[in-house]
Structure 1
Amino acid sequence: MDSPAEPNEGDELSGESLPELLRSWRMRTDPRTISGLATSGRRGKGLTQRDVAHLTEVSERWYGSLERGTRAGYSADFLDRLSSVLRLSRAERHALYLRAVGRPPALAAVPEADAAAEADEVLQEFLDNQAPNPAFVADVAWNMIVYNQPLVDWFPWAAHQANQMRWAFLSPEAREQLVNWEHDWARPFLGQIRYERARHPGNEALRELERDILEGSPPAREMWDRREMVEHPDGDVRRLALPYHRGREVAVRIVALRPMRSDRLRVIVLMEDRRGGDST
């Protein structure tokens, strides 16, 4: 570790130090809004350093060094995970980078971090108001940024492995829970991935998503050669057989839309369609 970080003469930020900012952002974050985080027995408000370390997948010592203002080789990946955990605005994320590594973030290189900053309280309220229908907001690489409680009730994995496509192709349970997996789910999903890769050829998250799925799923590799493209699933009716429904097949109509203020976000709502499902 090097010496504590001091603002450079050319920094765009003045005032609060990095430790002051991080403590403030951490203490304002309500642990009850983070799925999978234990909240019973807490004595104070906000997140602890241990919470943040766990959620950003680093050691408590590593995160503590950052919060003490120690300058080190903090990666963009770590700082972006931290921005998402603390739900920083775009301006706050900018300030985090300046204080932690002495430069602003490369916005174009990490669209998913920008997307996370744009998923604000209004979108969360919108998702919550969709109950009992599961709903979530994802970035262009299908990383789930925010979601409502019914989504986690139906898909518990979303609280831990929050990428829709990786679950669908790399989790064995998905083949059972997504009814008619190959035709109704896998092929349209691959078509969406191919379409977004064509739209965003320089997006590293999409490139990694394609690579991971094709390396990890032999059926996906075979279907990929069909070169199908699908723009969106809006209006499609598909079937699920989830433990939440005790294995009973349920038909859902997919509502897919984008907020007008962002081209990085997609909103998905799964509306139970009793006309197409077994409601017994």
Structure 2
Amino acid sequence: MLDGHVEAAQARGDGYFSDFGSALRYWRTRRGYSQLRLAVDGGVSQRHLSFLESGRAQPSRDLVLKLGIVLDVPLRQRNAMLLAAGFAPAYQERNLSDPELSSVMQALDFMLRQQAPFPALVVDRLWNLVMFNEPAAGFMKWLLGLPLDAAIPRDGSINVLRLMLDPDGLRPRFVNWQAVCADSLLWIQREAMADGPGSEATALLAELSAFPGMQAAGQVADGHLPNLDRRALPFLPLTIVHEGVELNLFTTITTLGTPHDVTVHELRLESFFPADKATADWFRQRFGAAT
């Protein structure tokens, strides 16, 4: 049974580390833990922890899970650590159409509808679009010049970051595109660092970084610091100009707390809010009847 899990994980690109010691050392370093601190918090001896990282000792399944919790390792990577240690994954990864996720989907659909007349959408960890409300669909069609009856797929085939950062996509609509691109790169950079080398997130980061003009945005991301000027807005505005209309928005990201499923753990609800009255009025007039 374990061989099947390993083969499936390798096919998906989940096996980022060839052995448990490398995975443990990677996450301990990423979290800024010394071996002594992790040993104390994990309830093991520093000597045993050193042996685990060097490959001189093998962990139990319970210890892998415990260290993953202490280091706050994402569920997908906890499964990868288990696989590297020779154990089957502990956390399921269901499809969103799975009946067991129906209550989660209903809750997300409720939140999407409550956000109207303003846009809201649900993406996975790589920012592939899986759900959205009617204002988000209408807003996307307007920005892309699509007919009103055009279908927006919900199967994850649209990558929101790729659509935003591509010069042939929505990027020309953003007045402050460098700042928007920098923030977007930070999200996928975090995923790439969490996933480790050879991951889908790393490949997506490389693809997005290769877009024309992204080097300048990347420099903004590398030196990303908040504007502490008292007159500055307390959020990054998305300033959009299209067909003579200027809209000022900001977004919030919501995640589901304490999930025990990889898919649910990686879902994000992005809600768009008007940053001024003129923008609020435009959305109310255009999508006020949307539900």
**Alpha carbons of structure 1 residues 263 and 228: separation in structure 2 relative to 1, 3 Å:** farther
Q: Pick from 156, 177, 183: which aligns with 1:181?
A: 177
Alignment-derived partner of residue 239 in structure 1: 239
Amino acid at match of 1:254: T
Residues 190-241 of structure 1 show CA distances to partners (whole Å, capped at 9, x for unaligned) of 12221222223268331231122123x03113433563569xxx95332122
So what's the TM-score if we normalise by structure 1? 0.50
Amino acid at match of 2:237: V
**Alpha carbons of structure 1 residues 259 and 212: separation in structure 2 relative to 1, 3 Å:** same
Structure 1 residue 137 and structure 2 residue 139: aligned? no
**Alpha carbons of structure 1 residues 173 and 166: separation in structure 2 relative to 1, 3 Å:** closer
Shift of 1:277: 5.1
- Distance of 1:235 and 1:137 partners within structure 2: 20
Contact 1:249/1:278 (8 A) holds in 2: no
How many residues matched? 174
So what's the TM-score if we normalise by structure 2? 0.49
Residues 120-135 of structure 1 aligned to structure 2 (within 5 Å): 120-135=105-120
Q: Considering only CA atoms, is the larger Rg found in Structure 1 or Structure 2?
A: 2
**Alpha carbons of structure 1 residues 116 and 278: separation in structure 2 relative to 1, 3 Å:** closer
Structure 1 residue 255 and structure 2 residue 252: aligned? yes
**Alpha carbons of structure 1 residues 251 and 171: separation in structure 2 relative to 1, 3 Å:** same
Contact 1:127/1:148 (8 A) holds in 2: yes
Residues 55-78 of structure 1 show CA distances to partners (whole Å, capped at 9, x for unaligned) of xxxxxxxxxxxxxxxxxxxxx78x
Amino acid at match of 1:138: V
Alignment-derived partner of residue 218 in structure 2: 224
Contact 2:119/2:135 (8 A) holds in 1: yes
Shift of 1:135: 0.3
- Distance of 1:201 and 1:276 partners within structure 2: 43
Shift of 1:263: 3.0
**Alpha carbons of structure 1 residues 173 and 163: separation in structure 2 relative to 1, 3 Å:** closer
**Alpha carbons of structure 1 residues 235 and 179: separation in structure 2 relative to 1, 3 Å:** same
Kindly, what percent of the aligned residue pairs are identical?
19
Residues 11-160 of structure 1 aligned to structure 2 (within 5 Å): 114=94, 116=96, 120-156=105-141, 159-160=152-153
Structure 1 residue 198 and structure 2 residue 200: aligned? no
Q: Pick from 196, 202, 210: which aligns with 1:207?
A: 202
Relative contact order higher in (CA < 8 Å, ≥ 6 apart) = 2
- Distance of 2:174 and 2:130 partners within structure 1: 22
Amino acid at match of 1:139: D
- Distance of 2:198 and 2:140 partners within structure 1: 27
Contact 1:194/1:229 (8 A) holds in 2: no
Task: Return 5+ residue gaps in structure 1 as ranges.
Answer: 1-75, 78-106
Shift of 1:278: 9.2
Contact 1:134/1:269 (8 A) holds in 2: yes
The DSSP-based 3-state class of the residue aligned with 1:255 is strand
Amino acid at match of 1:263: H
Shift of 1:114: 4.3
Moved more, 133-142 or 195-204: 195-204
Amino acid at match of 2:239: R
**Alpha carbons of structure 1 residues 264 and 278: separation in structure 2 relative to 1, 3 Å:** closer
Residues 142-174 of structure 1 show CA distances to partners (whole Å, capped at 9, x for unaligned) of 111111111110013692552111011224242
The DSSP-based 3-state class of the residue aligned with 2:135 is helix
- Distance of 1:264 and 1:136 partners within structure 2: 14
Residues 10-35 of structure 1 show CA distances to partners (whole Å, capped at 9, x for unaligned) of xxxxxxxxxxxxxxxxxxxxxxxxxx
Measured on the aligned residues, the alpha-carbon RMSD in Å equals: 4.0
Shift of 1:268: 0.7
